[in-house]
Structure 1
Amino acid sequence: MAIGDRARLTDWQLTVEARARRTRADLAELEGVAGTDRERRSAVESLAVVDRVLDHRERFWRLPASWWSGWHIERAWRALHEAEVCTAAALPDLAGRLPGLRQRISGLLSEDDLRRQALDTLEPGRPPGPTDRAIVVDALRAAFDASDDAHAAARALRNKMVAAALLLFVVNTALGLVGLLRPEFLPMCAHLPANEQIRACATGAKTPAPLDVWLVQLIGAFGAMVAAVVLLLRRRPSLSPYILIGYQALIKVLLGAALAVIGVLALSAGVAEGLTCITSQAALLLWAALLGYSQQVGTRLLDNYADRVMNHVRPLPDVSR
């Protein structure tokens, strides 16, 4: 791979490249070891697939489709995993690596899995036979398959969040245009308790103005950004090929803007009369910010689900170490 190509590698590509290099080092140790030709040949073929994916440069008009499908990420990881499995099956010191293999697959195979149970019965001090190696291969492939399936699940969730963000963007834009063209359709105002004839509107006017909706959306988005910052601070760094946190934050901001408009519209209709006390424009904008932050109630479920998906999508450690 050329130096210029290396400069364009992303985090997941760097991880795949490093693990492929270590796998090649293990394969070099198998040179001349009897009975390992089939495993070495399979590993070399899989590593060739990894190289082709890492070297591949997509045409710019195909980049959106490639990003959406994630074929390059998942193909590279699946090929790398197969190379690691074939290499591990042929290692002469496999018995000494059994404790590490058990630890690495424990997060992806349940204790009730028969393949994990069979792996746990192998003794590190006993030279592995063909049956032992077959057990190791089955357990590793099952763990890697679970990791690869988690990649696909993370990609599907990311695509759903992108679609939801686009829909929210369209909704917010439509609300803003309606408010701009026909302010009276979406009055961002509230009656003052001291005088029911006087209203406080978002931009400070006494009657609905064209920029009221846009201002309420902006303040609601600001309130949602507080929740997004909290999300960013509590999220652990990850080497996963799919990073969802940016899309989660985007949904929070867009949903916060929409909820602020709906909430202020409810205040204007007197739905929350007696529960709120809006005495000025500043109070109305404060409620817009609070309503924007309130999206956290709904998006918290999305955050929890994304956390569970990301816990399974982190790359399984290198089986050769």
Structure 2
Amino acid sequence: MATRKPRVTDWRLVVQSRLDRVRADLAALGPPDPLDPESQQWRAVAEQAAAVVEEMITHDEPRWRAIASWWSGWHIERAWRALHEAEIAVVAAGSGFLGRLPGLRARVAEQLDAEDPRRRALEELRPGEYPLSVERELVVDALRAAFDQSDFAHAGSRALRNKLIAASVVLFVVNTVLGVVGLVRPGLVPMCVGSERLPTVCPSGRAPSGADVWLIQVLGAFGAVLSAVVLLLRRRPSLSPYIMIGYQAAIKVLLGAALAVVGILALGAGVTTGLIGVASQAALLLWAVILGYSQQVATRLLDSYADRVLDQARPLPR
């Protein structure tokens, strides 16, 4: 029986590297201190959480269940939550926090506000000022609060990804229906533009055609592709477990196609009479491209929101 090759993805690489670091830190702790039973308990917690992480990153499901798992993202988020618990347990298993405090404070500061009492308690902590058990509780509480924020960000980015997918499906269905209607009943969705002073022009000539709606949609999608290229060029690399850029580009292209149809309908209805005149077929097709690119005005807010969500969820420091 042939064995299936393990899947390699960006988030698995990041989780695997941090899991290796957890195991290295566990090995560096040396033999457990019999006078510190809490340390032994935290070591056991770290080993259990590391085993869960290993199971999740090597997890393989039947193909019929893979789509549901991909949509829910349960294995990704469980891997990250278990990894965070393992990292907390490794820190708590140590016999002191003097050497770790700078890194711990920086990590907590990434997620918690400056006025958060848990962050302030960690920043004001002086090793040896309290018993080890109290110091351990302060560190664990602050780290858990910080990692909880990161885990919530993962859930938020997954929810945004799923919304983008659902919106893309709706736009695809709407565009397809419009194209089919225009193909079956030419002129039912009028794509021709004319006025008292200018001749009537249609996307495919001077008479309505079944290809008019499709042609306008294709040119509108082309205009949207130009803005998608700009998005690709300015997007920073990200190791977030949920990648949005493909779905954002799909929204732009599909919305550009729909707005091109709506815009040409507005031109044909005389909404822009006195402002915009379409004197030729080339001008009409050019306006379809421009209208497709105009979706950038609406999707710019979506791009900014997606950037904020991914910035909170990415595992690398800002």
Which TM class, normalised by the smaller chain length?
over 0.9
Specify the alignment match of 2:255 in structure 1.
255
* Equivalent residue letter for 1:255: L
Deviations 1:203-232 (A, max 9, x none): 1x2111000000000000011111111111
Specify the alignment match of 1:104 in structure 2.
107
Counterpart CA distance in 1 for 2:316 and 2:278 is 55
- Greater mean alpha carbon deviation, residues 89-98 or residues 300-309: 89-98
Distance apart, 1:93 and its partner CA? 5.1
Distance apart, 1:16 and its partner CA? 0.7
* Equivalent residue letter for 2:16: E
Deviations 1:70-123 (A, max 9, x none): 001000000010000000112245211111111122121001111000000013
Identical-residue share of aligned pairs (%): 60
SS at match of 1:262: helix
Counterpart CA distance in 1 for 2:212 and 2:129 is 76
Structure 1 pair 306–243 and aligned structure 2 pair: CA distance change class (3 A): same
The answer on 1:285 being equivalent to 2:272 is no
Counterpart CA distance in 1 for 2:43 and 2:118 is 24
Distance apart, 1:194 and its partner CA? 4.6
Specify the alignment match of 2:201 in structure 1.
200
Deviations 1:229-274 (A, max 9, x none): 1111111101110111111111010000000001001111111111
Structure 1 pair 87–128 and aligned structure 2 pair: CA distance change class (3 A): farther
Gaps of 5+ in 1: none
Distance apart, 1:316 and its partner CA? 5.7
* Equivalent residue letter for 2:31: G
Counterpart CA distance in 2 for 1:165 and 1:144 is 32
Counterpart CA distance in 2 for 1:315 and 1:215 is 43
CA contact (8 A) 2:156 2:309 kept: yes
Task: Give aligned pairs, total.
Answer: 311
Specify the alignment match of 2:8 in structure 1.
9
Q: How does 1:158-197 map to 2 (within 5 A)?
A: 158-191=161-194, 194-195=197-198
Structure 1 pair 4–64 and aligned structure 2 pair: CA distance change class (3 A): closer
The answer on 1:209 being equivalent to 2:209 is yes
Distance apart, 1:68 and its partner CA? 0.4
Q: 2:154 aligns with which of 151, 157, 168?
A: 151
Structure 1 pair 282–143 and aligned structure 2 pair: CA distance change class (3 A): same
CA contact (8 A) 1:252 1:295 kept: yes
Specify the alignment match of 1:28 in structure 2.
27
* Equivalent residue letter for 1:308: R
Specify the alignment match of 1:82 in structure 2.
85
CA contact (8 A) 2:122 2:138 kept: yes
- Greater mean alpha carbon deviation, residues 99-108 or residues 39-48: 99-108
Deviations 1:169-210 (A, max 9, x none): 000000001110112111111116654xx311111x211100
Query: More relative contact order in 1 or in 2 (CA 8 Å, sep 6+)?
Result: 1
Deviations 1:34-70 (A, max 9, x none): 1221001001010111111122111101111000000
Specify the alignment match of 2:132 in structure 1.
129
Alignment RMSD: 1.7
Question: TM-score if structure 1 supplies the norm length?
Answer: 0.93
